[in-house]
Amino acid sequence: MSAVHGLDLRLEGVTKVYPGVVALNYVSLQIKAGEVVGLLGENGAGKSTLMKILGGLIAPTSGKIILDGQRYDAFDVKQSQQAGIAFVHQELNVFDNMDVSANIFLGRELVRGPLRLTDRKAMNKMAEPLIERVGAPFKPDTPVSTLSLAECQLLEIAKALSMNARLVIMDEPTSSLTLSETNMLLKVIADLKAQGIAVIYISHRLSEVEECVDRAVVLRDGHNVGVLERQAVTHDAMIRMMIGRELKALYTPPSVPATKPVLSVKSFTIKGKPDRTASFDVMAGEILGVAGLIGAGRTDLAEAIFGVGDKLGGDILIDGKQTEINSPADAIAAGLYLVPEDRKLAGLILEFPTLENVTMANLPAYTSRGLVSQKRQIAVAESQRSALSIKTHDVRRAANEMSGGNQQKVVLAKWLSMDPKVIIFDEPTRGIDVGAKAEIYGLMRSLADRGVGVMMISSDMEEVIGVSDRIVVMKDGLITGELPRFRFSESNVLNLAVGKVLEEA
Amino acid sequence: MQKKDIGLGILIIVVGAIVYMRNPLFLSPINLGNTANLIGLFGLFAIGQGFVIMTGGIDLSVGSVIALLGVLFVDMVGKFGVPWPLAVAIIIGLGVLIGLAHGILITRFRLQPFVVTLCGLLIYRGIARGYTAESTAGFPFGSSYPQLEWLTIGRSFGVPHSFVAMLIVAAVMWVVLHHTVFGRHLCAVGKNEEAARFSGINTRFVTVMAYVICAVLASIAAIYFAMFTKSVQPSSHGNFYELYAIAAAVLGGCSLRGGEGSVIGIVLGAVLLQELQNLVNLLGIPSSLNFAVMGAVILLGVLADQQFAAYRTRKNTERALGLLQKP
């Protein structure tokens, strides 16, 4: 193997402004050959923006990148590759219709002879030491379709090494790995370090970070909140730095205390985590916050409850009665509604008029003698418009002409025009401006006060703590804990989200 | 050879054995020669279609291209006295242009392959009919082109040269698909275009080339068909041929989602289709049921393949779980 020459990379004062959002605010980072730097932060703290800048996918608004003493205002993809920066993504980019060595050399195939045919023998031969370096059990000619997820990760690392990577950036590499696979990956990281390769390790799993990094850089709301040196990298120190912002008062208490469960979920199994089950209750009249880090399985859980996809196991009780839910139609019939995470994909038909979107789920109610009465549709849409103060002057206009907040209200109007018992909100205020957020919170509270069980999945800590009456925290398909209102705190939620057990208060 | 190809080969042999037992004429030299000729003709453009399908696209214009270029070829050689090598070069050149047009409309203008080539199907057929004013294009009485005829409809040791031509094309395309950088990139683009682009592959070029290959092979097939039928009836010549090509490619293991397929599979698919046509003739099944038999067999084949694939996935999962459970 050719010796890679040492890396010295510094980011200074890097700022990235999107319309309306400052994603990164004067962030600095430094990494040298043979160092492992952990990059930490809550969802939305700016980690991925920073990585995209290093990968050359986006250019910073201001600030500089200094690589081996040379200064750049921005990187492009090519410069980043030439600098030896390689990514191992959370979502894998392997081609499962090819073998291992074809994946490693994709886009840089070795050729031989005047016909420039691919030289498989040479590629296999060159792949072998790379595979050995990452300690993978497969061979160059193993079809990728037979590899496990962990093996695909190793393949991606081998690919990075083949490009003479000097810096490997791993984004949540262990989020779908088992414990033994994770340990194997940590060993590979130690090997890379010994070989003089730098690693940026992004993970929500603090114990792994604690184990493998030389230094941890913490981001919060796009700011650099600090650097922890090796001996200072501890669970508590990391969590303390990741949180630590004043929460605005959002909370309005329920008018009547919640008493009986309207939805009980018993030993529910979700996609991708067949050996884990989740059980919890949603009370009539309460807002239950569901917290957890991205990838904890919250959306999968919500979709499974709503009957999307195959049911894997578990029971649902509505008002104490066992209810079979095998499809969204069953869920809707039982009064269980979902306001999905991706509003534009699953919540609305954007090109359809507001009135169609509002009445879509319950069209038979608007028919007379088999024909849909637009008059009745308009009447209901109009009443929802004034009840939710949806800002459109004509309910016959398409939903895509509205702002995100108003679109979200249309999704809500669809369910409110029927008779909800439980509404699951999945990231209800993502991409919505502050004013509309407050309105949505108000609507949730008034729903709860009408006796509806409201379950709110949110990755926004301020929202979870500020709006919920009770919080359950999920990690890897398991409910790791439940917090009553008086125990709400960012550190409690975050500790549960990373799988730490809380001391009893 | 992939497992799929072996399965298809076995199916061909089994069907052949059954037909032979019911009617021994199946293996007579005349029948074999005629069937081989048809396999050659249809196999030529099915291979091209397979390449397009592997990118996740489709080319519906193949039959019309064969009609239009067939008409032009017959007229050039028969009516205007263009020397045949030049005429062949012009026809192939037109094939390149048609493929480029399709590819560029799809990649640069971001139109859907189905729409672009559906329009092609209508346009080329329309031009062929308009140009000939619906009359059949044919060679003048008594004309003869010995070398061209040898190359296209000649036979060596009873083997039709169309079949030989198809084998040569298949061999070349097999090398292109499985042993060139372009071939690897084609599979990558078909599987995951986004990720392929991020791997530094020129995905537009790869896609355009697939359509060029398809149209060029269709133009070569057009010459072979024109020489075989001797006259080209512009409204019916080549009708439904794109569907034969798609059927052969799908039977041969190409996924319409892209990224999967093999040249051997496509050729075997073309063989099976012609074998089925032959079966209908030899077993005295009314030829009006021709399409019904073909449709039913393709459906069964694809269904069986799906089941095998599911079985293999299950096996793999079990293997992986077995590895996990070991301490």
Mean pLDDT along residues A44-65: 86
**pLDDT beyond 50 at B326:** no
Least trusted range by pLDDT, from A325-329, B119-123, B159-163: A325-329
Query: Per-residue pLDDT for B220 more than 70?
Result: yes
d(CA B42, CA B36): 10
Please compute the mean of the pLDDT values over residues A6-19 and round it to a whole number.
Answer: 86
Q: Which of B180, B191, B196 sits opposite A116 (nearest CB)?
A: B180
Best mean pLDDT range from A36-50, A224-238, A431-445, B259-273 = B259-273
Using the Cβ of B206 and the Cβ atoms of chain A, whether some distance falls under 8 Å is answered with: no
Lowest mean pLDDT among A3-17, A401-415, B171-185: A3-17
Q: What is the pLDDT of residue A434?
A: 67
Counting residues of chain A whose pLDDT is more than 90, the rounded percentage is: 27
Domains of chain A are: 8-242 (3.40.50.300), 250-335+419-505 (3.40.50.300), 353-411 (no CATH)
Residue-wise pLDDT tens digits, A269-294: 877 677 778 899 999 999 999 998 87
CB B121 within 8 A of CB B60: yes
Residue that wins the pLDDT comparison between A4 and B211: B211
Rounded mean pLDDT, A370-394: 87
Question: What is the crossing angle of helices B62-74 and B84-107, to 10°?
Answer: 150
B187 closest CB neighbour out of A81, A97, A115: A97
CA dist., res. B264 & res. B266, Å (int): 5
- pLDDT, residue B224, reads 97
Q: What angle do CA A229, A233, A237 make, to 5 degrees?
A: 115
Contact A452, A421 (CB under 8 A): yes
Are β-strands A315-318 and A287-292 bridged in parallel, bridged antiparallel, or unpaired? unpaired
What is the model's pLDDT at position A38? 93
What is the arithmetic mean of pLDDT over B248-270? 91
pLDDT tens for each residue of B166-181: 999 999 999 999 888 8
ipTM at complex level: 0.71
> Is pLDDT of A250 > 80?
no
Q: What is the CA radius of gyration of chain B?
A: 21
Q: Is A117 on the interface with B (CB under 8 A)?
A: yes
The DSSP code for A116 is T
Residues 242-301 of B with CB under 8 A from A: 259-260
Q: Tell if the CB–CB gap between B184 and A148 is shorter than 8 Å.
A: no
Structure confidence at residue A115 (pLDDT): 85
A245 touches chain B (CB under 8 A): no
Find chain A residues with C-beta within 8 A of B185's C-beta: 106-107
Model pLDDT, residue B317: 63
In the predicted model, is pLDDT for residue B321 greater than 70?
no
Indicate if the pLDDT at residue A2 is higher than 60: no
Maximum average pLDDT range among A53-62, A357-366, B123-132, B200-209? B123-132
| A41 Cβ neighbours under 8 A, 6+ residues apart | A47, A218, A219, A220, A242
More confident residue, B130 or A19: B130
Flag whether the pTM goes above 0.95.
no
Contact B187 A145 (CB under 8 A): no
d(CA B40, CA B37): 5
- Which pLDDT score is estimated for A407? 87
Could you say which of A109, A116, A148 has the minimum Cβ distance to residue B184? A109
Rounded CA separation B29/B35 (Å): 10
Please say if the pLDDT value at position A408 is more than 70. Answer: yes
Q: How far is A95 from chain B (nearest CA, A)?
A: 7
pLDDT of residue A39: 92
Q: Among residues of chain A, what percentage have pLDDT more than 70? A: 93
**SS3 call for B206:** helix
pLDDT tens profile A130-176: 998 888 889 999 999 888 878 888 898 899 888 889 999 998 887 76
Give the nearest partner residue to B199 out of A107, A145, A178, using CB atoms.
A107
- Is B317 near chain A, with CB under 8 Å? no
pLDDT for B327 equals 41
Give pLDDT, residue B196.
80
More confident residue, A149 or A92: A149
pLDDT of residue A290: 95
Q: Do B184 and A98 touch (CB under 8 A)?
A: yes
Quick check: A504 pLDDT over 70?
Answer: no
Nearest residue of A to residue B315, measured between CA atoms:
A146
pLDDT, averaged across chain B: 91
Predicted pLDDT at B164: 97
Q: CB neighbours (10 Å) of residue A414?
A: 23
B54-98: per-residue pLDDT in tens? 999 999 999 999 999 999 999 999 999 999 999 999 999 999 999
Contact A97 B259 (CB under 8 A): yes
Average pLDDT over residues B280-306: 87
How close is the nearest chain A Cα to the Cα of B259, in Å? 7
Sign of torsion over alpha carbons A214, A218, A219, A225: negative
- Is A247's pLDDT higher than 50? no
Q: Specify the pLDDT at position B42.
A: 97
Which residue has better confidence, B221 or B299? B221
Q: Residue A417 above 60 pLDDT?
A: yes
Which of the two residues, B3 and B294, has the higher pLDDT score? B294
Q: Report the largest interatomic distance among the alpha carbons of chain A, rounded to a whole angstrom.
A: 82
Higher-confidence residue of A125 and A345: namely A125
Q: How many CB pairs under 8 A join A and B?
A: 55
Radius of gyration of chain A (CA): 26
Q: Report the pLDDT value the prediction gives residue B107, as an integer from 0 to 100.
A: 94
Pair A198, A160: CB distance under 8 Å: no
Q: Which two tokens stand for residue A440?
A: 């949505």
Report the pLDDT value the prediction gives residue B318, as an integer from 0 to 100: 65
Cβ density class A80-119: b for 16+ within 10 Å, e for less: bbebbbbbbbbebbbbebbbbbbbbbbbebbeeeeeebbb
Cα separation, B159 vs B164, whole angstroms: 7
Within 8 A of A117 by CB-CB distance, chain B residues are: 175, 179-180
**DSSP three-state, residue A89:** coil
- Compute the mean pLDDT over every residue in chain A, rounded to the nearest whole number: 85
pLDDT at B307: 84
Cα–Cα distance for residue pair B98/B61, rounded to 1 Å: 10
Buried-exposed string A441-455: b where 16+ CB fall within 10 A, e elsewhere: bebbbebbeeebbbb
User: Which tokens in the block code for residue B241?
Assistant: 């041929």
Position B323 confidence tier, pLDDT thresholds 50, 70, 90 = low
The answer to whether B321 faces chain A, any CB pair under 8 Å, is: no
pLDDT tens across B275-290, in order?
999 999 899 889 888 8
Which domains are assigned to chain B?
3-290 (1.10.3470)
pLDDT tier, A3 (very low <50, low <70, confident <90, very high otherwise) = very low
pLDDT band at A1 (very low <50, low <70, confident <90, very high): very low
**Could B191 and A178 be called an inter-chain contact, meaning their C-beta atoms sit closer than 8 Å?**
no
